[in-house]
Copies of this chain bind each other. A is one copy, B any other.
C-alpha cells in the first residue's frame, strides 16, 4: 500500500463579501474571482457570503468548463451564502442550520437573517471519499465585550458534532470557511479538539502570504481600519482544516493567502484574503493513532472552558427572557386597565368624557405594540435559553465521558 501514488489536491477558500446593495464593487469583484478561479484551476473551491443566487448562477456559467460540479446551499431569509465548486462529481449534500445565530432585532448586524449553516458535500476522488464542509460562523463585532460569544460557541460545538456524526464513512475530512475566531480562541480549540481537525496554516511545509497567515488585514482597502486597530498585522479568521479518518495521511505542502489587489486592477477580491492549500493525500498501511490520553485531557479543559462561556450566555438569556416576559405582562395589564376604563365610560359610570379620545387610543395602540414585541422577544429568548441549556448538557455529557469513562 505504501507505494500508492500521492493525490495532490488544491483547495481555495474565500469569504467573498458579496452582499447585494451593500458590498462595494460587488459585481466587479465577483467577476474577478470567477476569472481567477478559471485561470488557477483549483480542485475544490469553497465560497462564503455569496448571498445573491444570481452571483452564484453567473459564477456557475463562467466556471462550468473547469469546475463542472457545484452546489449552492439555501437557508434563512437571505440564504446561507455558502457554495462549492468542484472538478470532481459531488455525490451527495447535506445542510445543517445552527440553532442559534444572533438576534433578529440586531438589524445592524444582520447575522440572524442569513441562516448561518454548515454545508456538507461528499466527493470521491481516485476512490478516496472526501467529506468537505463549508461554513461561516457568527461575526465578532466587539472583541472586548463579545455579546455573541455564547452563540458562536454553540455554533462551533454544533459544527464539531455535525462533522463527527457525518464523517464516519469518510477517508478525508476537509473544512473551509470564515470561522470568525482567532486561532487561540476557545471555539476553535473546541472544534479542533473535538473533531481532531488540523490547521493547514500551522501544518504547512511552505507558507506564502500575509504575515501570520492573517486573512483580514489593514492593507486591504475594504476592511474597516478602526476595527483592526488592536491588531496591526490583521487577524486570522478564515481557515482550511483537515484530517484523515481511516488509513490515509494528509499533509499540507503549501499554504498561501492572497495579498493586495487582484492582478490588473486597483481592488482586492474581497474584504477577506483567500486561503489556498495544497494537500498531499496518501494511503498508508494502518490508521494513525494520536496520543489519546493527553489529547483527551486537553480536550476536557477546552470543553470545560467552552461550557463556562455557554453558561454565561445562558444566564444572560434567562435574564432577557425574564425582562421581556415582565414587559409583556405589564403591557397586558395596561391594556386590561384601559379596557375596564373604556367599559366604565361606556356604561356611564364616569361623568362625561374622562380621557381625550386620541391619547386614549394612541396609548392602547402603544400597549398593543409593546405587548406584541415583548411577547415575540420572550419567545425568542425562550428558544435561546433552550438551545444554550441543550448545548451545556451535551458538553456535560462529553465531559463525563472524557473524565470518568475514557
Interface residues of A (CB under 8 A from B): 73-77, 79, 90-97, 99, 115, 120, 161-162, 164-166, 168-169, 357-358, 361-362, 365, 379, 382-383, 386-387, 389-390, 394, 397, 401
Q: Are B394 and A93 in contact (CB under 8 A)?
A: yes
Copy number of this protein in the oligomer?
Answer: 2
A164 CA to B169 CA, complexed, in Å: 11
A162 CA to B166 CA, complexed, in Å: 9
Q: Which residues of B contact A74 (CB under 8 A)?
A: 386-387, 389-390
A166 CA to B390 CA, complexed, in Å: 20
A161 CA to B120 CA, complexed, in Å: 12
Q: Are A161 and B94 in contact (CB under 8 A)?
A: yes
A165 CA to B390 CA, complexed, in Å: 22
In the complex, the chain B residue whose C-beta lies closest to that of A401 is: B91
A91 CA to B394 CA, complexed, in Å: 11
Contact of A361 among B94, B161, B361 (CB under 8 A): B361
Q: Are A97 and B97 in contact (CB under 8 A)?
A: yes
Q: Which residues of B contact A165 (CB under 8 A)?
A: 92, 94, 120, 165-166
Q: Are A99 and B77 in contact (CB under 8 A)?
A: no
Q: Which residues of B contact A75 (CB under 8 A)?
A: 99, 383, 386-387, 390
Contact of A76 among B79, B164, B383 (CB under 8 A): B383
A77 CA to B386 CA, complexed, in Å: 8
CB distance from A264 to the nearest CB of B (A): 36
Q: Are A95 and B383 in contact (CB under 8 A)?
A: no
CB distance from A78 to the nearest CB of B (A): 9
Q: Which residues of B contact A383 (CB under 8 A)?
A: 75-77, 115
Closest 6 CB pairs of A and B: A168-B169, A74-B390, A74-B386, A165-B166, A168-B168, A365-B365
Q: Given A168-B169, A358-B361, answer yes or no on A397-B76 (Cβ-Cβ < 8 Å).
A: no
Q: Which residues of B contact A95 (CB under 8 A)?
A: 99, 390
8 A-B residue pairs with Cβ-Cβ distance under 8 Å, sorted by A, are A74-B386, A74-B390, A76-B386, A94-B162, A95-B99, A115-B383, A357-B358, A365-B365
A123 CA to B165 CA, complexed, in Å: 13
A236 CA to B358 CA, complexed, in Å: 58
Q: Which residues of B contact A401 (CB under 8 A)?
A: 91
In the complex, the chain B residue whose C-beta lies closest to that of A120 is: B165
CB distance from A305 to the nearest CB of B (A): 21
Q: Which residues of B contact A92 (CB under 8 A)?
A: 164-165
A166 CA to B99 CA, complexed, in Å: 18
CB distance from A170 to the nearest CB of B (A): 8
Q: Which residues of B contact A164 (CB under 8 A)?
A: 92
Q: Which residues of B contact A120 (CB under 8 A)?
A: 165
A92 CA to B357 CA, complexed, in Å: 62
A161 CA to B76 CA, complexed, in Å: 19
A240 CA to B77 CA, complexed, in Å: 35
A17 CA to B177 CA, complexed, in Å: 42
CB distance from A94 to the nearest CB of B (A): 5
Q: Which residues of B contact A166 (CB under 8 A)?
A: 165-166, 168
A358 CA to B361 CA, complexed, in Å: 8
Q: Given A169-B168, A361-B362, A387-B74, answer yes or no on A99-B97 (Cβ-Cβ < 8 Å).
A: yes
A285 CA to B389 CA, complexed, in Å: 44
CB distance from A388 to the nearest CB of B (A): 9
CB distance from A224 to the nearest CB of B (A): 28
